[in-house]
């Protein structure tokens, strides 16, 4: 089973969402970013780390070090469900193909529909295809 699918389905069964996996070939670091609606605390990370350590051993997956963390205040947005969850929040994104000569935008996520979002930037509503997003992150509220 593919590592991402294995971890995502395991976390889902525990009530968590897999946000991202980072792997470093150099030191065999496996970094897992998880989230849930109420947010992630240290107790969640310990619980998940202990569970995944046993799972990875049983599945005979070779790694050197496992880190489990929250995605942070500037959480990446990847799936359509991420955009739906954070509707009305301020996000920062980078496009693959520029729109009106621009690739980077910061605005309020107003709408999510069938693979597209509406982003309000300086009072103007932009229609953007999710397939054209290189990366998107929440802008932290400080």
Instruction: Specify whether the CB–CB gap between 119 and 94 falls below 8 A.
Output: no
Q: Where in the chain is the domain with CATH 2.30.30.100?
A: 80-138
- Is pTM beyond 0.85? Reply is no
CATH 3.30.300.70, domain 3-69, yes or no: yes
Q: Choose the CATH number for 80-138 among 2.60.120.560, 2.60.40.10, 2.30.30.100, 3.90.105.10.
A: 2.30.30.100
Per-residue pLDDT of the chain (142 residues; tens, 9 = 90+): 599 999 999 999 999 999 999 998 877 899 999 999 899 999 999 999 999 999 999 999 889 999 999 999 999 999 999 999 999 999 999 999 999 899 999 999 999 999 999 999 999 999 999 999 999 999 998 7
Burial classification of residue 58, based on how many CB atoms lie within 10 Å of its CB (0-12 exposed, 13-18 middle, 19 or more buried) = exposed
């Amino acid at each position: 089973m593919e590592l991402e699918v294995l971890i995502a389905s395991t976390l889902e069964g525990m009530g968590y969402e897999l946000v991202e996996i980072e792997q470093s070939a150099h030191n065999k670091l496996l970094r897992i970013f998880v989230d849930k609606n109420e947010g992630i605390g240290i107790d969640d990370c310990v619980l998940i780390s202990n569970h995944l350590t046993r799972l990875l051993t049983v599945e005979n997956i070779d790694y050197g070090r496992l880190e489990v963390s929250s995605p942070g205040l500037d959480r990446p947005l990847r799936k359509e469900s991420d955009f739906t969850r954070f509707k009305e929040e301020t996000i920062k994104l980078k496009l693959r193909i520029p729109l009106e000569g621009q690739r980077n935008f910061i605005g309020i996520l107003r709408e999510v529909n069938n693979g597209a979002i509406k982003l309000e930037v300086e009072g103007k509503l932009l229609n953007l295809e999710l397939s054209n997003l290189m990366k998107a992150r929440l802008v932290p509220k400080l």
